[in-house]
Amino acid sequence: MAKVKITETVLRDAHQSLIATRMKLSEMEPILEAMDEVGFYSVEAWGGATFDSCLRFLNEDPWERLRVIKKRMPKTKIQMLFRGQNMLGYRHYADDVVDYFVKKSVDNGIDILRIFDALNDIRNLETSINAAKKMNAHVQGAISYTTSEVHTVDYFVNYAKQLENAGADSICIKDMAALITPYAAEELVLALKKNVKIPIQMHTHYTSGLASMALMKSIEAGADVIDTAMSPLALGTSHAPTESMVAALRGTPYDTGLDLKKLDVVRAHFAKLREKYLASGLLDPKMLGVDANTLIYQVPGGMLSNLNSQLKQAGKIDLFEEVLAEVPRVRRDSGMPPLVTPTSQIVGTQAVFNIINGERYKMVTKEFKGLVRGEYGRTPLPIDPEFRKKIIGDEPAIDCRPADLLEPELDKLRAEVPASLLEQEEDVLSYAQFGPVAIKFFEQRRAEKYGVDAAHADAANSVHPM
């Protein structure tokens, strides 16, 4: 029986879940060396919403953040979350951009790429898996976990086999909505261990209050690695506390071997940050509680608050229960997608429109049309042809891998960025995903560096060549 390994999420998913990804690099830096001494299997520190948040809200270069973390944590594997053909943006990108992004991520310090697709469509992962293998990085293929009559143990086992055959080095059960129960976790891990030969990792959130129990049953069933978060930024919509899980496994055959005293040094640092976030209002105490409605409606916590806010803005909050009842119907109509970014937003918004307008699909969002048409990939259930025609009319459905319809775009994107704003090759990839947001960041960076505004950046560049 092997020791259980720990992936620490405090530098990415914990603060993404609790404070909208607003932790700054300057708040991380003082504790990185101490974290490097703990002996984590890996530290998830990049990807997900961190890239967007760095550029949009923190005026930070996400690539520089990665380089600093890697330099300060040379002994620990640095891990990222990657949305396959979407990379870290919100649309499908051409293969040449995906390939280059993966290369640059590994060049700058990423050791493990956790790659997932919202629809569990293996075709949307092939390019990024191949690119990561080419760079000798560890590929973790992630299963977007959800519950429905389609999403059976057999369904997940079949998908795990596809991931293994595609080249994944390990499998992650990615329970982003905190829907997995302890015994469902045990059953799924046992089935995966029996059917695939690569390590299994369990990722679940505390939203429903079940995370610690689900992790424990996963471990007993043979899970090799679990995701946790340092206790000051654990619980609620985040993860089970690292120190608690380490303590629970001490002296057992699953003992992690991690030192609680070393962890306490790390805990003390994040405890101060927690107080700071609470005092500033960045951390809402409500985010730290348990929301069992997640299990009743099978809707992620973030999606519930999104629906609430959409209805409040429309002055229709009294329709909240009706919208919640409509969500599973819209989900079924659209092929039973797992509810995770971007499908949760697409299905939720359409459910709101259906109820507010008093007629189902009287008004259809562009994104919902795209989902039904096949722009995001193959849905778990085939979409009824009559329903598809009602939504997209005579537009042709997309049955191929969506990215097969995209021309190479890296050179075109590179040509769109003013040369005066490019300071590193990676900037092209920042621009590829976040366009105007990235340009605004480049302009600010230039102004701060040379004490000039964006209008004078060209002149500054001729004096200070790259």
pLDDT at 453 over 80: no
Q: Would you call 162 exposed, middle or buried from its count of C-beta atoms within 10 A (0-12, 13-18, 19+)?
A: middle
Tens digit of each residue's pLDDT (9 = 90 or more) over 123-168: 999 999 999 999 999 999 999 999 999 999 999 999 999 999 999 9
Same domain, yes or no, for 440 and 380? no
Overall average pLDDT of the 171-184 stretch: 96
Together in a domain, 43 and 12: yes
CA-derived radius of gyration, the chain: 22
Q: Quick one: pLDDT at residue 464?
A: 32
Q: Does residue 311 share a domain with residue 189? A: no
If you search the block for the tokens 């919902």, which residue do you land on? Answer: 368
Please check whether residues 87 and 170 belong to one and the same domain.
yes
Q: What are the pLDDT digits (tens) for 44-84?
A: 999 999 999 999 999 999 999 999 999 999 999 999 999 99
Return the percentage of the chain with pLDDT > 70, whole number. 97
| Per-residue pLDDT tens digits for 394-410 | 999 999 999 999 999 99
> In terms of domains, do 258 and 323 share one?
no
Express each pLDDT in 332-379 by its tens digit: 999 999 988 789 889 999 999 999 999 999 999 999 999 999 999 999
Average pLDDT, the chain: 94
Task: Tell me the three state secondary structure of residue 42.
Answer: strand
pLDDT of residue 452: 60
What is the predicted pLDDT for the residue at 394? 94
Whether 395 and 416 map to the same domain: the answer is no
Both tokens of 358, joined, read 């008093």
Same-domain check for residues 265 and 380: no
* pLDDT reported for residue 331: 95
Residues 49 and 166 both lie in one domain: yes
pLDDT digits (tens, 9 = 90+) for 359-371: 999 999 999 999 9
Two tokens, residue 429: 């990839």
Taken in order 321, 151, 225, 138, is the CA torsion positive or negative? negative
What is the mean pLDDT of the segment spanning 300-323? 85
Question: What is the DSSP pairing of strand 42-47 with strand 200-204?
Answer: unpaired
DSSP label of 241:
B
Residues 118, 258, single domain; the answer is yes
Q: Which residue range forms the structural domain that includes residue 434?
A: 410-450
230 and 314 housed in the same domain: no
Question: Is the domain of 119 the same as that of 95?
Answer: yes
How many domains in the chain?
A: 3
